[in-house]
Structure 1
Amino acid sequence: MSEQTIGQPPAGDKPVAPPEGKNSNNELFRKITQGPGLVSVLGVFVALVIGGLLVAVTDKKVIETAGYVFARPSDFFTQLWRAGTESYVALFNGSIYNSAQGFSPFLETLTVSTPLICAGLGVALAFRAGMFNIGAQGQIIIGATMAGYVGFAWHLPLVLHLLLVVLFGLLGGALWGGLVGLLKARTGAHEVILTIMFNYVALYLLDFLMNTTAFRRPGETNPISPILDANATFPVLTGSRLHLGFVMAILLTVLVAWMLKRSTLGFEFRAVGHNPEAARTAGVNVARTTILAMAFAGALAGAAGVAQVAGTEKVLTVGVAGSLGFDAITVALLGRSTPWGTFFAGLLFGAFRAGAVNMQISTGTPIDIVLVVQSLIVLFIAAPPLVKSIFGMNPKKRVRKTETIKAGAK
């Protein structure tokens, strides 16, 4: 037998490479969820411009001036600019500042942003671990259900009661998310399918509970719980709805940022999200990491449920989660799965929600235009090459242009 070089595979064996399709899918997932922040900012800008144009072209005065645009084009473009900017000015006045209320609208924005930030952090953390957490909606519902029950059924001293409400809300979300992670790790089931199904299970479970005597308010025919004890709710600022839950959202953002950057567990999350096979080879327990990642993600989404039931609503209803779980996906995508990026994306979407009502009242613009802008943001975030091509940021074209210039010079 001929000697075999050390470190080389046997003559008849070829190195086994990971499947190309799998690598391509992982790379695409990372590009969508963890791309450059500049693309997100530009995507928001383009979405706002398109939203403004949609408002403008449906404005009555714009349509009237379009009839004689060639005779007096200045009238048309003046009305086009007025209609396009007027709605956003009203949105700003309803979400940040206006002369009549001062910065009170900004406090409302912070209030609305609180559950978006918490749920967005849950989705973003799962993204960093390589999983698409569509189940924030169900995790919010279970977290709110457990927190709400502790809030109205138990009667405890001030600090202890509120701490238990928060703890049980986090625990409910963690159990709901961790169960998905367990099924994925043990059976190989896809987390997208699992989380979608768990959303429905959580929704109908809450619907069932709200029709039981343990959860329904005495004397009520509508499915609504008793009001939470005052000791079980977040303190609020005088003259606003802003509550201490916003401080909880800030603390959770700091915690997630520290965990991902400084802790061993956060490193394992990122390693598994980048390449599970390489992480397993390096000694990481991928199954354990998957379960923990989904449990932590669920706990963060459960915190959004706590913010809703103990901060804003103070009661438990079937619609306590609204569309927060699905908006959280957009928030996490816009934040590029970074804790602070998600935090500021949550503030932006909170401003959209808080200012939409004033926009409709002041200008008559349909409130649905905010949903259109949010949908456009998702579109542009999910298609980074589209945004890059709009702004001429395609590096391949630059390389080809440079090579063409060099070839011409030669």
Structure 2
Amino acid sequence: MSPWSARAARRPAGDQRAETGLLRERGFRLYWTAQTVSLIGDEINFLAVPLAAVVLLDAGAAEMGWLTAVALLPSLLLSIPGGAWADRQPSRRRAMIVADAGRCAALASVPLAYACGALTMTHLYLAEFVVGALTVLFRVCQHHVYVSVVAADRYVDANALLSASRSAAAVAGPSTGGILVQALSAPFALLTDALSYLVSAVCLGRIRKQEAPPAPRGGGGLTAGLRWVTAHRTPGLLLAGVCMLSLCHTFLMTLFVLYGTTELGLAPSAIGAVVAAIGLGGLAGAFVAPRAVRRIGIGPTIMTGFLWFSLPLILVPLADGPTPLVITALAAAQLGAGSGIAVLDIAANSYLIAAIPETLRSRVMGVVQTANFGVRPIGAVLAGSLGTTLGLRATLWIGTTSAVLSVLWVIASRVQRVRNVPENAEPAQAP
């Protein structure tokens, strides 16, 4: 058993206080607001950018694969070096504000180019790459700010609130995005996303909590986070499962809009409504996850989240027949997967944030981001290539069935033996 498992098993039951009590704390409330507003814009972006490519620029499966890939490529290339940089900064919050401002500018350039008649696939590729790079910077810094505004015994509750925001955004964002795309055109719908980053920057700028001091120089460099992950069986194999699940889920995300519009004949507003179902499921999952952690333990909840997330996805390639039946199948898939995502994210994030040593937090989270997001450009390009060669439905079958098998890594990690969130991470050792 991993040393994290042994120590976690000794911890008593989690705090029973209501999650909403955290919103009375100014620091967390500002952090939560910044995340929530930005997430709504992200969900609009999820529909607006691919619809701009398909409707305005006649993008095919291969181009859709590359569009998804360039947005995610920074996660593969920059997460680990970005984490090493962030661990040594005195203010990660300032870096997050800069990232928000940059993402706003990159997205605002799309409607500007469209208004000037100069929008091309190359412009979309570049805008998505810049947004992806700045998102990596934001993510490797955010956990330092998170732990400065949340007490260690409230991690599960705080993650539940953030997951609920993510789910609410998934409900409001795609349906709003579909309407905005039809009313204003896809490029101008992105202005909402751009403005959301400005709101996020303002909220982050008002946080006054003290962050942990920067890590000392010479503390292991770029590979310290990777060495920590590989030295601990439970988090290491858990991340392998996350990597496989993320890779397979990318098959669906890359081709979903193209599949819905060309093969299933759905309108943008219908696709938006279907995607919104993932948020409804996420709200349910955010409600269930803290209670599941307290009842069955953090490890069993993580395993449940893997299966709860992946199994409903099989309904996507199964969708066929009359439009109402197709919409029902897709909505059920999104509803089930959404609840599973919330359960998995809340449980796994709480476990990892508690287990990672403070001086390695961004470097290890850089490895986590690589496992979760860095493999997605590979999956996107692979999905585009297979979608062109084998067809959309066959490619979706490959991705969804493989996603279910990712739980085998979780079983091998023995995380199901971990009952409670680790209390204190072991200090990082310099090599």
Q: Same fold (TM over 0.5)?
A: no
Q: Whose helix proportion is higher, 1 or 2? A: 2
TM-score (norm. length: structure 1): 0.31
